[in-house]
Amino acid sequence: MGETHQWREQVLSAILFFVLILGGATAIPSIVLAISENLWSVVVVDIFALAWIATIWRLPFLSYEQRAWNFLLFLYLLGVWFVIKVGLTGLIYLLAFPVLTSLLLSMRLSIQALLLSSASLLVVGYIADANLHVYGFDSHPFMQLVVVTINFAFIAAVMSISCGVLLQRLDNSLEHQRVITASLQQGQASLKVMNEELRLIVAAVARLNDIVMIIKVDVSKAEQRNLKIVFVNDAFVRQTGFQSDDVIDKSPAFLQGPRTQATEIERLNEALLAIESVHIELICYTRDGSEFWMEADVVPLADENGLFSHWVATGRDISDRKKAQEHIHKLAYFDVLTGLPNRRLLLDRMSILLATARRSNMISAVLFIDLDHFKYINDARGHAVGDALLNLVAHRLSGSLREVDTVAHIGGDEFVVLLCHISNDVVAGAHAAQAVAEKIRHSISQFFDINGLQYSTTCSIGVTLLPRENQNSHDLLREADTAMYRAKSAGRNQIAFYETGMQTEVEQRLTMERELGEAISGGHLHMYIQAQVDRLGKPVGGEMLMRWIHPERGFISPALFIPVAEESGMILRLGDWVLEQGCLALLQLQAAGWDIPLSINVSPKQFRQPDFVNKVRRVLKYTGAQPTRLIFEVTEGLLIDNLQDTIARMLELTTLGIRFSIDDFGTGYSSLAYLKRLPLYELKIDKSFVQDTPGDANGTAIVQSILSMASHLSLRVVAEGVETKEQAEFLIANGCASMQGFLFARPMPLDKWLMLQKQIVQPGKENSSVV
């Protein structure tokens, strides 16, 4: 409606303009003629009409309806006036009144204007006796007006209705055109938005880091599905090296290669046939043949008819993730140094082997291998050489076994071999395991070449068989480990099979270790003194010996619990306690009037502690004991490693006044060169030599040699384990200054020993008798 109204305004303005121009052109001659004829009414009407039209045309404050009604009223009045004055000319203006009303306003108002014009024509024409002649009705003037009015009304009605209908149809057409235009504009805007979205989507897909492929499915007449690539993005080109033109209209099978998983391809084909989405992880190949892992999601797409005609595959390179997973898997299940399976993977394979062995009744075996004295090589040559040796051992072990067997490195210098299904008979299986163990032992005993140097080592092997009732993987490892320790205790470089009694020994050892810890805290350990006497039997010193009195089992031999303390590390706690008790014993002896030195045993592990010297200083300061009366007994094993450090530490302790004694001399380190380098005070002859005197010539010769050598080196000698009078007389005859053994005194609590000395001898008297 807005456009029709605007159109009517333009039509009205055009009509007013042309009416003014044409009216002025015709009115001027008419005015001149009217003046000459003295028709002043005509002059006034013409001038008034031109002024009225000019006013309607030029005044901007008038609305369209006002201008239109003014113009139509002008036509109506002009028509009425012409009917009165002229006659037929007025009909033209009265006819224009309803027609232009239809054109400028509406058909409804046009009908009203038609009725008004017709009535005006009839009434005004009759009253004014208008000159409207109709042939045949000259004698009836009113009938003439009626006939003219009827014909006028008919023609005016036809013209007005035609104009109104035409304008209505035009308005409907314009409205329809507006709807179409709006729809087109909306469609164009939507299309523009869609085109922009499509452009953005295409640009985004083309520049995605993920690979995108669109694959078309062509179904042949034989119902065969042919896949053709119709689109690949930039990421595909970057990843594979194939250009877009190289792959369009080709099957994606060119991405497959020798290691592409057939199972994943089968899953993909099944999904294509079932028209289902699928997620795959596939080994693909680039243009130059390089492998890469691709994770892809393949989704079917349907066309407007609901037919699945295309597949969209979005993928990404997961090679780094796969490498990381593989690395994590290796860290979790394989030894970093040797590349062999670790304990975790070994236990998994043991569990599987146990399950299959129980079903098949096949005998298998576990071999626990520990390198002998590997620590010496590690300490002497460094960890690099030690690691190289472990790698060579791993290589030899792997080369000595079948592919179905497993070699694992479970830490340090320990390896485990899993022999699978070696026999269906226990005896035959044991023989087969023995043969493999011997083969391994012989292989390991051969020289290893590391950086041009030859290294040798041996191994101890523990063997256990499976399956047995209620046996699990941890049991297998424990049994083989127990057997290995039995092989070590048998002298190393040995093979030992697991026996049921071994577990009892292990459990007893663990029990002793636990109870020893409780004994240290519970005060069940005691220090006894065993006197050292001269040739007259006079006490000239003493050795403090540890005794364990168990609440239930009574005395427990040091030969049983000292090795346990050494292996468990509790020897450090024991050593600190012994040092303190030895200093307190010195104070007790001095208080009782006995100014004799006391010896305490110091283990190599305790001696090598970085803070050992400082601990000694603190205890001496805390107790106030005289360091010159304290003797540290050490074994020859202390001198094997780091001799220079050992000498430096001994010198540091001797500056405090402490003296050193070599315990069990002659049974350990074979070199005697250290005797002149070490700050030693005395040697203690081991009781194994003393017991052979004087009846055994070899033992007698060894003791005599030690006494002679000590005399030349100015070292004091204490003979241990003197139990007979003949042994004492032999030692005295050969110049032994001090003796210790059951012949003179058994170890006893210091309080008891002091009470016994009061009964036997008076301290400081020259006539002291034998203890």
The matching CATH number, chosen from 3.40.50.1970, 2.40.50.140, 3.30.70.270, 3.10.129.10, for 334-498 is 3.30.70.270
The class that CATH gives domain 211-323 is: alpha beta
**Number of helical H runs and strand E runs in the chain:** 25, 22
* Residue 414 amino acid letter: E
Residue 499 burial (CB < 10 Å; 0-12/13-18/19+)? middle
Q: What is the pLDDT of residues 531-582, one digit of tens each?
A: 999 988 899 999 999 999 888 888 888 888 888 888 778 889 899 999 999 9
CB count, 10 Å around CB of 508? 12
pLDDT of res. 226: 80
CATH of domain 523-760: 3.20.20.450
For residue 310, the surrounding DSSP H or E stretch is: strand 308-317
Average pLDDT over residues 45-56: 72
What is the pairing mode between strands 495-497 and 458-466?
A: parallel
Q: What is the pLDDT of residues 413-464, one digit of tens each?
A: 899 999 998 888 887 888 888 889 999 999 998 999 988 888 888 999 999 9
Look at the alpha carbons of 338, 340, 341, 346 in this order and tell me if their dihedral is positive or negative. Answer: negative
C-alpha–C-alpha distance, residues 377 and 734, integer Å: 43
Q: Which of 117-131, 419-433, 445-459, 619-633 has the lowest mean pLDDT?
A: 117-131
Helix (H, G, I), strand (E, B) or coil at 204: helix
DSSP of 625-672 = --GGGEEEEEEGGGGTS-HHHHHHHHHHHHTTT-EEEEEEETSS----
C-alpha–C-alpha distance, residues 173 and 171, integer Å: 5
pLDDT of res. 11: 73
Q: How confident is the model at residue 768 (pLDDT cuts 50, 70, 90)?
A: very low
Average pLDDT over residues 47-70: 72
Per the omega criterion (within 30 degrees of 0), is the bond before 551 cis? no
pLDDT of res. 752: 92
- Residue 273 — φ and ψ, nearest 5°? -65, -35
Buried b (16+ CB within 10 A) or exposed e, 570-609: bbbbbbeebbbbbbbbbeebeebebebbbbbbbbbebbee
Please indicate whether the domains covering 211-323 and 523-760 agree at the CATH topology level.
Answer: no
Percent of the chain at pLDDT exceeding 70 = 86
Buried b (16+ CB within 10 A) or exposed e, 635-669: bbebbeeebeebeebbeebbeeebbbbbbbbbeeb
Beta strands in 172-210 (DSSP E): none
Whole-structure pTM over 0.75, yes or no?
Answer: no
Q: What is the pLDDT of residues 352-363, one digit of tens each?
A: 888 888 888 888
Nearest to 483 by CA among 522, 550, 437: 437
Look at the alpha carbons of 532, 538, 539, 540 in this order and tell me if their dihedral is positive or negative. Answer: negative
For residue 748, the surrounding DSSP H or E stretch is: strand 748-749
For residue 406, the surrounding DSSP H or E stretch is: strand 406-411
Chain CA centroid to CA 551, Å: 54
pLDDT of res. 137: 57
C-alpha–C-alpha distance, residues 638 and 611, integer Å: 17
Q: Which of 69-78, 86-95, 191-200, 376-385 has the lowest mean pLDDT?
A: 86-95
Q: Where are the domains of the chain?
A: 2-177, 211-323, 334-498, 523-760
Q: How confident is the model at residue 409 (pLDDT cuts 50, 70, 90)?
A: very high
